[in-house]
Structure 1
Amino acid sequence: MVFNYYQIMPLEISNSDLDEYEKYLGKSLNDEDREVILKFTSFRRVLTIRKKLKL
Structure 2
Amino acid sequence: MARPLRIEFSGAVYHVTSRGDLRGPIALGDEDREDLLGVLGQALRESPRLN
Give the TM-score normalised by structure 1: 0.37
* Structure of higher CA gyration radius: 2
The structure whose RCO (Cα within 8 Å, separation 6+) is larger is 1
Give the TM-score normalised by structure 2: 0.39
